[in-house]
Amino acid sequence: MVDASLEATRKYYDDFASWYENERRPNDPHGYHALIDDLEIAALEPFGRGKEVLECGCGTGLLLERIARFASRAEGVDLSPGMLEHARARGLTVREASVTDLPYDDASFDVACSFKVLAHVEEIGRALAEMARVVRPGGYVLAELYNGWSLRALAKRLGPAGKISKTRDESAVYTRFDSPTAWKEMLPPGLELEGVRGVRIVTAAAPLLRVPVLGGALRALEERLMPTPAAYLAGFAILVAKRR
């Protein structure tokens, strides 16, 4: 039986695939999405350099392509054939699969990461358990969540849904916001939360990044605050958990 939720998400991202990179590198190297991508890579690289890394929800491969530059092995999975078409065109090693059912044996990687994806997964516990399963003891899971305590969460709840194609907007996909009080309890047995990295802590609105001087200052402040307790107010929270 086809999971209706997974099928809806697949169609959403297939539709999104042709628009996904319009406001991302290389079209907008200094914009909002570039900042988010840079911070995510900065959070991952200390754990993934020289290691075998799996990206769960790799999309068109923008991050996976960068991961491959510092990892000894980089692979990705995604639910959307449309997204994977772009990733394969980049020469990346990817498979069509859901994060809730990863097509790998136990302990296949040193690190499993997921960015901009888990917020759209209803079975979040199952997804995190799968990421933990494919990581070797002593390895890491980096799981990015949408923070329910952030200004971004408030704006998303109150504001209009953003367009992702000519026919769809963000309301067409399931989206969850998880609060800091729930983060630790979301992790499956065997994963120990070691820290949180915050992404988009002080950038109140994306257009501010285009303001001369202010944009650079915001970027520098985001980088400085990312590993601090301010991460608990970030729009995106990257949980760093170690596999025992």
Please state the rounded mean pLDDT for residues 208-224: 94
At residue 171, the pLDDT reads 75
Name 43's Cβ contacts closer than 8 Å, sequence gap at least 6: 142, 197, 199, 226, 238, 240
Instruction: Name 192's bridge partners.
Output: 242
At residue 173, the pLDDT reads 82
Looking at the predicted structure, is the pLDDT value of residue 1 above 60? no
Looking at the predicted structure, is the pLDDT value of residue 188 above 70? yes
- Can you tell me the distance from the alpha carbon of 14 to that of 96, in angstroms, rounded to the nearest whole number? 12
Domains and CATH numbers, the chain: 4-243 (3.40.50.150)
Instruction: Name 169's bridge partners.
Output: 163
At residue 210, the pLDDT reads 87
Looking at the predicted structure, is the pLDDT value of residue 2 above 70? no
Q: How many residues does the chain have?
A: 244
At residue 4, the pLDDT reads 64
Task: Give the dihedral sign, CA 10/97/140/20.
Answer: negative
Looking at the predicted structure, is the pLDDT value of residue 108 above 50? yes
Q: Cα-flanking dihedrals φ and ψ of residue 210, to 5°?
A: -95, -5
- Can you tell me the distance from the alpha carbon of 187 to that of 107, in angstroms, rounded to the nearest whole number? 17
At residue 18, the pLDDT reads 66
Nearest residue to 48 via CA among 114, 105, 99 = 114
Convert the pLDDT of each residue in 31-58 to its tens digit: 889 999 999 999 999 999 999 999 999 9
Nearest residue to 133 via CA among 152, 115, 109, 165 = 109
At residue 164, the pLDDT reads 55
Convert the pLDDT of each residue in 114-162 to its tens digit: 999 999 999 999 999 999 999 999 999 999 999 999 988 888 877 776 6
- Can you tell me the distance from the alpha carbon of 118 to that of 29, in angstroms, rounded to the nearest whole number? 25
DSSP state of 117: -
Convert the pLDDT of each residue in 69-95 to its tens digit: 999 999 999 999 999 999 999 999 999
Convert the pLDDT of each residue in 3-26 to its tens digit: 666 777 776 766 666 667 766 656
R_g of the chain computed on alpha carbons: 17
Q: What percent of the chain shows pLDDT beyond 70?
A: 86
CB contact burial 178-192 (16+ within 10 A = b; e otherwise): bebeebeebbbeebe
Kindly report the pTM of this predicted structure: 0.90
- Can you tell me the distance from the alpha carbon of 212 to that of 52, in angstroms, rounded to the nearest whole number? 39
